Structure 1
Amino acid sequence: MDMETNTNIPVAEQGQLPQAPKHIFILSGQSNMAGRGGVFKHPHGHGHWDGVVPPECQSHPCILRLSATLNWEPAREPLHYDIDTRKVCGVGPGMAFANVVRDHLGGECLGLVPCAVGGTAIKEWDRGQQLYENMVKRSKESLKSEGEIKALLWYQGESDTSSHHDAEAYKGNMERLIHNVREDLGLPSLPIIQVAIASGDGRYTEKVREAQLGIDLPNVTCVDAKGLPLKQDNLHLTTQAQVTLGHMLADAFLTKFYAPPSQSPKTG
């Protein structure tokens, strides 16, 4: 495994962490969740990340990530560098999301659990498949810090746009994934925030988007990435588009699924 591109990522000592994360978010799906913002291909193949971290994606002592070795460490871009190891990772939506949400947590720490892997179709995320089982394992491990999983952020579907069959099957496959992950984590009402894709590998992008926007299950919401700027490959979001998407995801979480700690339950 070629890890040369990631040698600039400092490894944190566990002792440096301010506190265990109380609010945990799973980041999963394929390359636009893993982040390709600022990744450019050399003419002869291998890509590199330009290293540009927007102000909205800066690290903060109270934003942690679960590493590939299942340790909490300070979160920094690129969040998926040791998870999506077959490709070069850049900026995704996770840090921009976390920085907005953190402002509402009253000083409590937030943990991100990166699980996304580029180029993966939804059938590869079925129960029993390695990607799915790894996501569940990492999610369960994150709970050992005695925090709570607050939401799963899901951005995937570009790999399901090439065949009519895959696009047709997408809605059922996504609904099954939601059911499975809630059952396997013992969280029957786990909030799911999915992204309706902005691009695709094939001609059935609209059919997959229709499936994503049409899922009508409790505690499932969708934000639409269509119209966000794409890189020259017409597939991956630009760095700035990822910042915008992170803010859209944060807004969806805060408006639909978050009750501020200061609010006492309504009575009567």
Structure 2
Amino acid sequence: MEMAESEEGRSNWLEKVIFILSGQSNMAGRGGVTKSKKWDRVVPPECIPSPSILRFTARSTWEEASDPLHADIDTHKTCGVGPGMPFANALRAHRPTIGIVGLVPCAVGGTAIKEWERGSHLYENMVRRAKESVKGGGEIRALLWYQGESDTGSQHAAESYKSHMEKLIQDVRSDLQLPSLPIIQVAIASGDGRFIEKVREEQLGINLPNVTCVDAKGLPLKEDHLHLTTEAQIKLGNMLCDAYIMYFASSCH
């Protein structure tokens, strides 16, 4: 049985600033996932839960956020630490008056950019969840996107990445009726194939209004040479926070 919200609780609910987390496995988070596909359950201080950080569940309800954020979204793989919690904690540290930070996990491991085009299950689910996340009050402030490792296996996929990503950005903004929605993209640090540098070139070459890119290259990778370590995910979360504050926060307050 649901409890009626107090006036204070309803006020806090309306102050939510919402961030969509999307892409593939490095956004879903594999930090701390061992070779035996178990999460080590190590939660660093930068990832600690807070009543002021909420997660939009697969059932489209809000709950206090904790890693692994994507456990009920990226269900075919073991999820661990991703960039979402470090991002949210860093944002609240830099902007203590920001209110409730709402995270909307949408990333699914092993997915190529073509699988995210409008009309696909992944795309439509992301847009649906984004729309549902604001129904109780709140405002979507940015889409955080980390994907591209699955597009490094063929020259054609790598060379067409920029056009697919630009179309994705335009479609998301149109479908959410947020024509200036900030997009913070991560340039990949690894990949499944030999065209990593071409995908990175395409990502870094996107030049649309209110789109910026942070570069994951050089961040520590796990033994699989594909997924970021927990340490790297914390660093990435802080990089995403810095980018949001530098380019977008002042225009949103």
TM-score, normalised to structure 1, is 0.89
**Structure 2 unaligned runs (5+)?**
none
Structure 1 stretches (4+) deviating beyond 6 angstroms? 13-17
From 221, 231, 256, the equivalent of 2:222 is 231
Q: Could you tell me which amino acid in structure 1 is paired with residue 32 of structure 2?
A: G
| Deviations 1:228-260, CA, capped at 9 Å, x for gaps | 000000000000000000000000000100028
- Trace 1:69-108 onto structure 2 (pairs within 5 A): 69-103=59-93, 104-106=95-97, 108=99
Residue range with higher mean Cα deviation, 13-22 or 150-159: 13-22
**Structure 1 unaligned runs (5+)?**
1-12, 264-268
- Trace 1:44-193 onto structure 2 (pairs within 5 A): 47-103=37-93, 104-106=95-97, 108-193=99-184
| Deviations 1:172-216, CA, capped at 9 Å, x for gaps | 000000000000000000000000000000000000000000000
- Trace 1:13-52 onto structure 2 (pairs within 5 A): 19-20=12-13, 22-42=16-36, 47-52=37-42
**RMSD, matched Cα:** 1.9
Matches of 1:145 and 1:162 in 2, distance apart?
42
Matches of 1:259 and 1:174 in 2, distance apart?
26
Matches of 2:60 and 2:35 in 1, distance apart?
30
Matches of 1:14 and 1:101 in 2, distance apart?
29
After superposition, the Cα gap between the structure-2 partners of 1:102 and 1:210, relative to the gap in structure 1 and judged at 3 Å, is same
After superposition, the Cα gap between the structure-2 partners of 1:107 and 1:210, relative to the gap in structure 1 and judged at 3 Å, is closer
Matches of 1:94 and 1:84 in 2, distance apart?
14
Q: Could you tell me which amino acid in structure 1 is paired with residue 79 of structure 2?
A: C
SS in 2 for 1:117: coil
Contact preservation (8 Å) 2:91, 2:241: yes
Contact preservation (8 Å) 1:14, 1:72: no
SS in 2 for 1:195: strand
Matches of 2:251 and 2:230 in 1, distance apart?
30
Matches of 2:100 and 2:58 in 1, distance apart?
20
Contact preservation (8 Å) 1:14, 1:73: no
TM-score, normalised to structure 2, is 0.94
Matches of 2:170 and 2:216 in 1, distance apart?
24
Deviation at 1:107, TM superposition (A): 5.3
Q: Could you tell me which amino acid in structure 1 is paired with residue 82 of structure 2?
A: G
Matches of 1:253 and 1:82 in 2, distance apart?
26
Contact preservation (8 Å) 1:194, 1:223: yes
Contact preservation (8 Å) 1:105, 1:260: no
| Deviations 1:105-146, CA, capped at 9 Å, x for gaps | 515101000000000000000000000000000000011122
| Deviations 1:33-78, CA, capped at 9 Å, x for gaps | 0000000122xxxx11000011001001100010000000000000
After superposition, the Cα gap between the structure-2 partners of 1:201 and 1:105, relative to the gap in structure 1 and judged at 3 Å, is same
Q: Could you tell me which amino acid in structure 2 is paired with residue 62 of structure 1?
A: S
Contact preservation (8 Å) 1:79, 1:92: yes
Contact preservation (8 Å) 1:59, 1:74: yes
- How many residue pairs get matched? 247
Residue range with higher mean Cα deviation, 104-113 or 148-157: 104-113
Does 1:206 pair with 2:211? no
The share of aligned pairs that are identical, in percent, is: 67
Deviation at 1:22, TM superposition (A): 1.6
Q: Could you tell me which amino acid in structure 1 is paired with residue 35 of structure 2?
A: K
